[in-house]
Amino acid sequence: MTCEDAFQYLQTYGLKCKQAEVAQWLKEDGLITNQEELNEDVLERFNDWHRWKGTAYEADIDQPTQINRLIEENAKLRKEIEKLHTEIQVLEDQLGIQPF
């Protein structure tokens, strides 16, 4: 399968991706061959690869990279929690709910 064929196939399913990402996936995925039939298995393989790319759960990354990504994700989640607590406080104040 060519990069163009795979890209067009994925686009028909509404996946938002760039052709360069498809080319990278085809190069990295050792199980995809030129004779591979375009089917839902290919769609699922790309979707899984795309979902985990750049995260701590990406395949074949070294442990220090994985740890750094987990630390970054943890920091982002802590900031989000802080933001949500502030939002809860504002909403409780608007509703006149007193803290316990």
Do 2 and 44 sit in the same domain of this protein? yes
Stated as kind and residue range, the H or E segment containing 54 is none
Do 35 and 79 sit in the same domain of this protein? no
Do 48 and 67 sit in the same domain of this protein? no
Do 27 and 8 sit in the same domain of this protein? yes
Note down the domain range covering 91. Answer: 61-100
Q: Tell me the pLDDT tens digit for each residue of 6-60.
A: 889 888 888 889 999 999 988 888 777 666 677 888 888 899 999 999 999 998 8
Q: Tell me the pLDDT tens digit for each residue of 65-97.
A: 999 999 999 999 999 999 999 999 999 999 988
- Write out the two tokens for 56: 């701590």
What residue type is assigned to position 59 of the chain?
A
Do 75 and 100 sit in the same domain of this protein? yes
Do 65 and 49 sit in the same domain of this protein? no
- In the block, residue with structure tokens 């809860």: 88
How many whole angstroms separate alpha carbon 8 and alpha carbon 19?
9
Instruction: Give me the number of domains the chain comprises.
Output: 2
- Helix/strand/coil for 58: coil
pTM of the predicted model, to two decimals?
Answer: 0.67
Do 7 and 48 sit in the same domain of this protein? yes
Stated as kind and residue range, the H or E segment containing 66 is helix 63-95
